[in-house]
Structure 1
Amino acid sequence: MEAALGPVHYALAVPALGPADHLRLQGLLLRAATGPRRGWGSNLAGLLGGSVVGGLGGYLAAAWDLQAGLWVVSTRHAGWNWELDGLGAFLAALGLVAATLLGMALLLRGRQRRALRALHAAGGEIFGAHELLLGEAGLLWRNPSRTLFVPWSRLTGAARKDGMLFLLADRISAFWLPEALLAGHPDRPGIEALLRRHVALP
């Protein structure tokens, strides 16, 4: 693998990737694999579509003289009751749907974060400290037990986030370089110039 790397320009001692940076990395990889997020245009179209459907529903309800109501009464406390009708019932139903959707989103997000923390803990030396060699033909990642060579052509993007430079490979994996590590290197401009020849740095 070292022969495939060609002349080595830089050898960097890269520290382990912490859990918080691992979460950021997985978020970048997910966006790289699924494409960019929907823009304002798509969100506005969805909002307008929902408004049209809601307006049509309101028009039909008015035209057909439809009514809805909610009445709750206590059998243990005489005279206690709670009643909603018209707009109140509609807002209560809307709030219930919104609370349900929000609860599901928070539950799924919590499960995802727990799964990613478990993945980081199980990754062991994959996310540990290693040596990263930047050569003429690509990058060579190695630690005491394994070595991986990646040609420059396999790099598909780069991102800077919270003090970390991530180099994406094939949109499903990445190398990480702390900005502090680059800042402390005597030839940071040379490293970034080498990387820019092969990937667009942010």
Structure 2
Amino acid sequence: MQIQVYNLHKSYLDGVGRRLHILRGLNFEVESGSTVAILGASGTGKSTFLHILGTLEAIDEGKLCLDGSDISIFSRDQAAKFRNEKVGFIFQFHQLLQDFTALENVMIPQLMKGSNSVVVRENALDLLQRVGLGERTMHKPAQLSGGEQQRVAIARALVNRPSVVLADEPTGNLDEDTSAQIMEILLRLNQEYETTLIMITHNTGIASEMQFQHKMENGQLNLLPNV
């Protein structure tokens, strides 16, 4: 997915009615299939920006084009349809449904689209195999390690073959070895599916594995030189 963001502004009202400006005229472009890391201090607007890209939050001002579609003017229903078909999310805390197996968690996004349940099951099993969980498909989240739960989350994010995957600190709660395994899976599947990958991370080592690194400062994204 090609992403183009122009003069994006986003603000919130705090508890006493003061307006807090989070994103200030942000510009950003990325070509389809690229991998991008977003660095920056906590509270600088990284997650807000990711939520905007995923149509989870509206903007105050600016233009946001994904694959040529200006999603900043979408209705709520249009945004939800676009999000379900084009965007995959991976969060730091997995967000898996605890009463469902790994297989069921991965199947849910396609079932919500009304896809054939037999095909959905085959797709989910294939993805779980690809992330190394072929023997753990019937386990519930509580029976899986943190790294295994994150692998389920990756499979779930990719089951609809999204154009872009948005990952918010996907290795933030994992040890170094498990983080390396998760990154290997993400980058391998990025190449296999030609999916644009945008990841928030505080880990500069992980960021260096991505093609492009940006830093969020003063409400804007600044491209960092490759080292």
What TM-score do you get using the length of structure 1 for normalisation?
0.25
What TM-score do you get using the length of structure 2 for normalisation?
0.23
User: Which is helix-richer, 1 or 2?
Assistant: 1
Larger Rg: 1
